[in-house]
């Protein structure tokens, strides 16, 4: 492995508890226990047929030649002592391995993603049979416990929540409002990169239908000024994030003081980022960064809050179940994910008011037609991307020189991996015709058929 690559404490393998190494985790296990890992002659990304050598234990009820999702450039070359081969693929000789005596297991693929067709069966085998766990968790029990814990921690203090309209922050708003009522203040910052009509719809929905007060902050001009002339996607994200922090600081001081900041942190966020510090006196987590824009900006030192993160042990599908159980409507619970920087990262290159308007109009058509077709809830995401190039076209008797729009429709379970959606040609035709005919400045529509990996869902 590459020098400096992440490692784990080797004592883990001697604890006497079941361990499942997934992808890189399997490689670390093999290397630390005396096996070999080297750069593969051919990487393996996306779908692969799993050929089962031993259908017992971990692979019980997993069909031979079932599809599993791969994403690796390195492979195990030989196994440590005590391990045996459970399965392989055409490109990966050791795709699943086990040392049953020590209850150590490894898989080179990702069983946790929806595209691994036998993945759930494998995980059930590990959790229920090998580990001996019982499925006792319920959403109702979680909600009751979360409400009790929130009330006990917060007492009579005030809590601030940065509302985005997504399922995470909306579920959290409902949960907090149930627990502490008017002690909660929701703030929605309109940065100008939302979809057409969404800021107004969101505020009206929460105020009028849910009766949860929302402080609406109009900041579109400020955010657009920060990204004028910027083409680098990372610089774009950082500038948007820093401006979000500036606006957040000003408005929280105006509306405050607040003792707690509520964040819709999920378990994958906890794993992937170290975004908090602990208060030395109380041990409570203290906010250093805000999740809303992918943790790209830190809070000022004089504006630190104690954190309330009731959802931090949940995955996205569990959050949706909690949302349903506390009365969140399907239009939010089943809302497709939308990035923190919004349309700013769906305009490749420089962001201008003209390009934002073009993309908003194209995006609205996509949403309308996906909903009309009945496919909205079958797709993880369906959206439009604006490219910063122009191509020649013909409209009527005139040649045009206009932007192309890319359609990106994908299926996924959690966004970690995704596949391009095989939607009907008639739907693509309808969307493309409407965009070209109704959106001024566009004369071409293309469809992205790249899976993740090797591509990402978003273009920036």
Tens-digit pLDDT profile for residues 219-235: 999 999 999 999 998 88
Dig out the tokens for 314 from the structure.
């949940």
User: Rounded distance, CA 370 to CA 202, Å?
Assistant: 20
Write the DSSP symbol of residue 286: E
Longest distance between any two alpha carbons in the chain, whole Å? 77
420, 422, 447: which is closest to 432 by C-alpha? 447
User: Rounded distance, CA 405 to CA 407, Å?
Assistant: 7
Catalytic residue flag (residue 242): no
- Number of C-beta neighbours around residue 111 at 10 A: 25
Catalytic residue flag (residue 88): no
Q: What pLDDT is recorded for position 275?
A: 42
Dig out the tokens for 297 from the structure.
């900006």
User: Rounded distance, CA 432 to CA 425, Å?
Assistant: 10
Q: What pLDDT is recorded for position 281?
A: 46
Q: What pLDDT is recorded for position 244?
A: 86
Contact at 8 Å (CB) between 198 and 346? Answer: no
130, 22, 38, 123: which is closest to 75 by C-alpha? 38
Sort residue 121 into left (φ over 0), alpha (ψ -120 to 50) or beta.
Answer: alpha
Q: Which ranges in 181-256 belong to alpha helices (H)? A: 198-204, 220-226, 233-255
Q: What pLDDT is recorded for position 287?
A: 42
368, 440, 367: which is closest to 403 by C-alpha? 440
Dig out the tokens for 155 from the structure.
């007492």
68, 61, 74: which is closest to 109 by C-alpha? 68
Catalytic residue flag (residue 294): no
Q: What pLDDT is recorded for position 338?
A: 87
User: Rounded distance, CA 106 to CA 22, Å?
Assistant: 6
Contact at 8 Å (CB) between 113 and 23? Answer: no
Q: What pLDDT is recorded for position 302?
A: 58
Q: What pLDDT is recorded for position 269?
A: 67
Write the DSSP symbol of residue 140: H
Predicted confidence pLDDT, tens digits, the chain (460 residues):
566 778 889 999 999 999 999 988 999 999 999 988 887 777 777 788 899 999 888 999 898 989 888 877 788 888 999 999 999 988 888 899 999 999 999 998 889 877 788 889 999 999 999 999 998 889 999 999 999 999 999 999 999 998 888 889 999 999 999 999 999 999 999 999 999 998 998 888 888 888 898 999 999 999 999 999 999 988 888 898 889 888 888 898 899 889 998 988 887 666 655 444 544 444 454 444 444 334 334 555 555 678 888 998 888 888 999 999 998 888 888 888 888 888 999 999 999 999 999 999 999 999 999 999 999 999 999 999 999 999 999 887 788 899 999 999 999 877 777 899 999 999 999 999 999 999 999 999 999 999 988 888 999 8
Please identify which of the residues 23, 72, 293, 294 carries the catalytic annotation. 23
Please identify which of the residues 72, 88, 110, 293 carries the catalytic annotation. 110
Dig out the tokens for 274 from the structure.
């170290």
* Helix/strand/coil for 443: strand
Please identify which of the residues 72, 88, 112, 186 carries the catalytic annotation. 112
- Number of C-beta neighbours around residue 181 at 10 A: 9
Q: What angle do CA 342, 347, 353 make, to 5 degrees?
A: 85
């Amino acid at each position: 492995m590459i020098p400096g690559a992440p490692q784990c404490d080797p004592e883990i393998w001697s604890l006497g508890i079941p361990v499942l190494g997934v992808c890189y985790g399997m490689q670390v296990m093999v290397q630390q226990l005396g096996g070999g890992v080297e750069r593969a002659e051919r990487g393996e990304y996306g779908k692969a047929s799993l050929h089962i050598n031993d259908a017992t234990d971990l692979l019980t009820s997993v069909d031979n030649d079932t599809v599993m999702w791969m994403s690796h450039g390195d492979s195990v070359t030989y196994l440590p002592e005590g391990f045996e081969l459970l399965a392989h693929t055409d490109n990966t000789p050791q795709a699943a391995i086990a040392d049953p005596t020590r209850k150590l297991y490894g898989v080179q693929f990702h069983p946790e993603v929806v595209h691994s067709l036998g993945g759930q069966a494998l995980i059930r085998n590990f959790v229920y049979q090998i580990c001996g766990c019982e499925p006792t968790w319920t959403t109702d029990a979680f909600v009751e416990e979360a409400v009790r814990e929130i009330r006990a921690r917060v007492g009579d203090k005030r809590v601030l929540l940065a509302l985005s309209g997504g399922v995470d922050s909306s579920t959290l708003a409902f949960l907090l409002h149930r627990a502490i009522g008017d002690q909660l203040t929701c703030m929605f910052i309109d940065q100008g990169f939302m979809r057409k009509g969404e800021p107004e719809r969101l505020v009206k929905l929460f105020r009028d239908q849910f009766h949860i007060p929302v402080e609406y902050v109009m900041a579109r001009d400020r955010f657009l000024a920060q990204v004028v002339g910027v083409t680098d996607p990372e610089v774009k994200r950082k500038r948007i994030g820093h401006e979000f922090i500036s606006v957040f600081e000003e408005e929280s001081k105006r509306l405050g003081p607040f003792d707690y900041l509520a964040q819709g942190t999920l378990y994958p966020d906890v794993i992937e980022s170290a975004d908090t510090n602990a208060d030395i006196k109380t041990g409570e987590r203290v906010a250093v960064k805000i999740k809303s824009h992918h943790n790209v900006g830190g809070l000022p030192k004089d504006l630190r809050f104690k954190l309330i993160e009731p959802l931090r042990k949940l995955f996205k599908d569990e959050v949706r179940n909690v949302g349903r159980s506390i009365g969140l409507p399907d239009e939010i619970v089943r809302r497709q994910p939308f990035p923190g920087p919004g349309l700013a990262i769906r305009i490749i290159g420089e962001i201008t008011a003209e390009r934002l308007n073009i993309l908003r109009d194209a995006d609205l058509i996509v949403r309308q037609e996906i909903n009309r077709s009945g496919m909205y809830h079958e797709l993880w995401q369906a959206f439009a991307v604006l490219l910063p190039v122009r191509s020649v076209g013909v409209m009527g008797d005139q040649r045009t020189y206009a932007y192309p729009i890319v359609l990106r429709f994908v299926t996924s379970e959690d966004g970690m991996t995704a596949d391009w959606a095989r939607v009907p040609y008639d739907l693509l035709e309808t969307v493309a015709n409407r965009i070209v005919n109704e959106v001024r400045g566009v004369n071409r529509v293309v469809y992205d058929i790249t899976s993740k990996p090797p591509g990402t869902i978003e273009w920036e």
